[in-house]
Amino acid sequence: MEPPIKTPEQLLRYRSLRQILADKSENVYAVEPGDSVFSAIQLMADKNLGIVLVEQNGKLVGVLSERDYARKIILQGRSSKDTLVREIMTTNVVTVTPDHTIPQCMALMNSGGFRHLPIVVDGKTIGVLSIRDLLKEIVAHHERLIRDMELAKLTMLSGGTSY
């Protein structure tokens, strides 16, 4: 039996953000605004993260990134043990829902100049996507698209008969 012919919309559609999150094994890690920057950086190092969420009473109130640490602690000669997360965290956090698309997320990250995007549902952060996650998905998508197009071309050239 021949595989069903896919429509252009089916061929060109990216996987959903929920599907991408399901493939990621990492959990959502968060600190509180009153925690020391040192403890937040320690968590980031232990979990190999470039960003950690800042939550208060389960609600996202900011993020702390390696960039925040470098610019607001190291370059200003501050002590990470004596500085609280609330003093240096980024508070204007752009978030998306699982209904956003990969192109929409890429556009937001590009225009905002950030590399991590929390995904929020009903006020709860369900995951964080990095620019690396999105680029990996885009490359995989294009590889699937090329493979499907090559298969369709071979099918047409062979007169619809597959061997």
Structural domains of the chain in order of their starting residue, each with its CATH number: 8-157 (3.10.580.10)
Identify the pLDDT of residue 106.
95
Residue 119, SS3? strand
Q: Is the pLDDT of residue 38 over 70?
A: yes
Q: What share of the chain is helix, strand, coil (3-state, %, to 5)?
A: 45, 20, 35
Mean pLDDT (whole number) for 67-86: 95
Q: Confidence class of residue 160 from pLDDT cuts 50, 70 and 90?
A: low
What the block records as the tokens of 98 is 């699982």
16, 98 in Cβ contact below 8 A?
yes
Per cent of the chain over pLDDT 70 is: 90
What the block records as the tokens of 104 is 């929409």
Entry pTM: 0.80
What the block records as the tokens of 51 is 């960003």
Q: Is the pLDDT of residue 70 over 70?
A: yes
Identify the pLDDT of residue 109.
96
Residue 38: which H helix or E strand, with range?
helix 37-47
Sequence-distant contacts of 119-125: CB under 8 A, at least 24 apart: 119/17, 119/21, 119/95, 120/60, 120/95, 120/96, 121/97, 123/58, 123/59, 123/60, 124/58, 125/28, 125/30, 125/53, 125/55, 125/60, 125/95
